[in-house]
Structure 1
């Protein structure tokens, strides 16, 4: 059984999310909102007639000595504001119909629910009238048929209509651009939390959570949804958690340190500026200093600089940009140049011999696999994932530096400007290394100038908040996401993000996937949310070992059945 109502009276002023009490009614209540835009010309004509009618009534009452009709005066003021807004192009007018249908299993229950719904509507200053003689039309109007059979409409302006959107969250007023992303459902209402990092003051974000709170799960969800918006994403993945997602969207997965995977540091970037070769030579000096585990002396730097340029010349690559498309040399070619210098009587022969000997593990020793040949997979595409799991600890810093350099070259490429996001998962592993820390600092400061954002994800909140680098990353992040926190770290979080007692309690008791979005780009917007994913998205982003083991067992069982001769 059901009973339908048409709303004929509305409050004069409404705020964001004002329809939320109707959506959270404990019984079964269908709420239907029908919207039809009014052409600007017709809207202006109607407003002029309405203003003339109200002004005429006001003058007539004054001439006859009647008391002022305050409702008419308020209506005249509202009509004048609407007319001014419409004339300036600040908004538009819409015809809006709001209808309710209450469902119940029997007549007595229906009567009680109807009384509660009408009382709730009255508390919202809504006048809900039953569609007594048009019950069928009232019921069909609340069905998802986009058909208004009742036709009881009220004129709304743009602001009032936006506030009437059923999923508007009263806690969060984001600035949305071209790349809005669904973060989840509001933890305290039925609204959705939608956020656009590229519409904020800067595009950086920081995600802090204890282990197992769902920070990587949430980050992969945002990555997948940003790919829908044509945002190019690069990921530093220490634990190889993004491979299934990368393979599904046809991204580029580079497992540094895996057998057969080479990454040549001598490769010249595709964007060719006048100083491309010089910049590559300078980076190689930094890279080799990292390989040797100590800064280069001035003498060693001079010898290495000449050897690097000689290595390129041996492959026919010089200052002429037309030669830069030729195959690049590899690290073993550099040691050959150093050996050639060492065999001479030049003063720098001993320095060249020392450099060549110390580079031997990377060219002919245990660490040679990553530098043994030309690059096997170019870091190009809409999603590029650098997996660091297979890198031994002895060369992890070097491999990380190669990945960061490749990402920075892509971000800073002036010939290919587009929205980009650099995701650094488990950022505490980068912050332990000097080169990784400097990369995060540089990207946090200058990413916005290159239309890129930095997403820092870490579980080590104490180390992040106790360093100048960590505080700089947070200060330059307009999007801040806090998931479940450990009691040992919550006091640092409260001080750094100025949390209330209620927000502190929420973060300590939050379930997996629940968090607090703090948007600093438009003020102090905050919303507690619960991340949601479709079954297909969940399959791509989950890393729950039990679930993955169950899935692998099921797939193996299915394979066995297919090959079972019975």
Structure 2
């Protein structure tokens, strides 16, 4: 029998799918399937005895139909059943036949079930278990059916094909709540509860608008959905060696958080997030590009700025110069810098009076000029600042800030900066992000992503600044994500370990053999988990959060993949073909959440 379903549009009837029903299989479009009903069960089962079916590596649909039996009806049925067993046993004894041990066991089970029902300790249910096996061809289907039947036999389950009822079997196995086979057995509460996969490695995550898909569970057929905003700390760390898929995962996590209404800011050392930002209508600030300037002496112009904004800016300049010069300043030079900062702001007409803060801020060159009037210590600091004032690194600081971050996604691209300025650029970007976050009203979750965080952690003052952000983020509904390919730099310092300790979500991807011992010690990894990280393929990861561990494979839709991939060949195809995929992403949003 062949049935064809048609989708009718402006052009008339267009074939959409073919359904060809045979006695023992059903053809569905390009595939073929066979349905079975479980008719025999083992006398005793353990917890999660159906889990081997749910974790079967092939495409297998298992449907469990449960119908509660009213207590009054259940009591009458059990009494009749016990009466039949008792009558059979008496007839066997009168005729001199040997005892039927199976009947005796069934009678004992019925008595125990009736007693539990009478005491209110359990209930009776009618349960049907239906299975549909899928394959691409008939030959493959025969092989898959053989594997599934062997698995069922190992579980002491007896499954019969739904001969001449394949359509009803296929529909009954779909998640529709429709049972067209009506092949059920009676089970009590204990037996039914043992059918559910409570021993599954899948994470139990409550439904939440901010939960996002991380990937597919490596130990089961389930998905890993995680809500970092429901934990006691919103921070996250991602540690992986180069080529393990760290940035790919971070971009997917960022994109899916945007779906959930989270605004974000990214520190992007290699300009990997620009395509994603442009596709979703975000802002890209390319530090180091011609004509792009960032004045570190700028004051926050928002009306909600704190009364001590000038003091806070001066304190940040101490941190910035320590990163610029590669070491903290000596006490006398710090004092000279502090006096020069106050004098430079005063020379520009800016004081502690809030009304003066909208005046143009002094530049780094103005600060250097004032430093030269602060004695020998000031002149030494000014001399060390010369590369940033008049030398090869002056472009970034040569003029007032050209653009300010705004929008639901701001990406700070540092690719145009020389390597010597990457740590400085990261610190400046984080400072601007944090000022924006601290001054805004916390009416929705916000995410700050620092890719290649090792560049900032190498500098002591930069590591301290990042640690302060990690500690203060939660109070402002901010989740800080630090991703790095050098686990040694993060775990080798006290501040780096503190940043990891303040992250409730920890993602580990493939690790180098030289770093695995350090990673295993820091995260308490078992031998199996260490081997998994040493041999993991790109995109395979281990999620750690407290005592919860789950290995997963990162997955992306086609539209997402084309936005987050860094494969040169794929990028070349995109450049010659379709371009940004904002429309596709909007269409897929409902499917991914």
Partner of 1:181: 212
Q: Could you tell me the TM-score, scaled by structure 2's length?
A: 0.72
Q: What is the aligned counterpart of 2:460 among 434, 437, 444?
A: 434
RMSD: 4.6
1:276 aligns with 2:309: yes
The residue aligned with 1:217 is 248
Q: 1:409 to 1:35 in 2, by over 3 A?
A: farther
Partner of 1:101: 132
Question: What is the deviation of 1:472?
Answer: 2.6
Q: Deviations over 1:396-431 (max 9, x none)?
A: 443232122223324444633532333222222222
Mark the runs of 5 or more structure 1 residues left unpaired by the alignment.
37-42, 61-65, 84-93, 343-347, 557-566
Q: Which whole-Å CA distance do the structure 2 matches of 1:105 and 1:359 have between them?
A: 68
Cα distance in 2 between the residues matched to 1:360 and 1:111: 77
Partner residue in 1 for 2:357: 324
1:50-61 to 2 correspondences below 5 Å: none
Tell me by how many angstroms 1:261 deviates: 0.9
SS in 2 for 1:240: coil
1:453 aligns with 2:479: yes
SS of the residue corresponding to residue 536 of structure 1 reads helix
Q: Deviations over 1:152-208 (max 9, x none)?
A: 789999xx899958xx98224344463222222222432222222223342333322
Rounded to whole Å, the distance in 2 between the matches of 1:302 and 1:119 is: 80
Deviates more, 1:507-516 or 1:254-263: 507-516
Deviation at residue 50 of structure 1 after TM alignment: 7.4
Displacement of 1:360 after TM fit? 4.5
Question: Which ranges of structure 2 fall in alignment gaps of 5 or more residues?
Answer: 1-21, 26-33, 84-106, 580-593
Residue number in structure 2 paired with 1:91: none
1:21 aligns with 2:69: no
**Equivalent of residue 539 in structure 1, options 550, 559, 562:** 562
C-alpha contact 2:53 2:62 (8 A) present in aligned 1: no
Q: Structure 1 127/73 Cα, relative in aligned 2: closer, same or farther at 3 Å?
A: farther
Q: Structure 1 residues 481-490 or 106-115, which shifts more?
A: 106-115
Q: Distance in 1 between matches of 2:325 and 2:147?
A: 76
Mapped to 1, the partners of 2:381 and 2:254 lie a distance apart of 42
Which residue in 2 is equivalent to 1:170? 200
Distance change in 2, residues 1:396/1:100 (3 Å): closer
Q: For residues 475-509 of structure 1, what are the alpha-carbon distances to aligned partners after superposition, in whole Å with 9 as ceiling and x for unaligned?
A: 33333322222233333333333333333333222
Are the counterparts in 2 of residues 338 and 353 from structure 1 also a CA contact under 8 Å? yes
Q: Does 1:399 align with 2:425?
A: yes
Separation of aligned partners in 2, 1:183 and 1:355: 48
- CA contact under 8 A between 2:458 and 2:489: conserved in structure 1? no
Mean CA deviation greater in 240-249 or 353-362: 353-362
Matches within 5 A, 1:73-88: 73-75=115-117, 80=121
The TM-score, its normalising length taken from structure 1, stands at 0.75
Alignment size in residue pairs: 519
Q: Which moved more, 1:536-545 or 1:378-387?
A: 378-387
Q: Is contact 1:183–1:222 with CA below 8 Å preserved after alignment?
A: yes
Q: Paired residue for 1:420, among 446, 449, 457?
A: 446
SS of aligned partner of 2:473: helix
Return the alpha-carbon distance in structure 2 between the equivalents of residues 423 and 494 of structure 1: 24
Partner of residue 169 from structure 2, selected from 115, 138, 141? 138
User: Greater shift after overlay, 217-226 or 2-11?
Assistant: 2-11
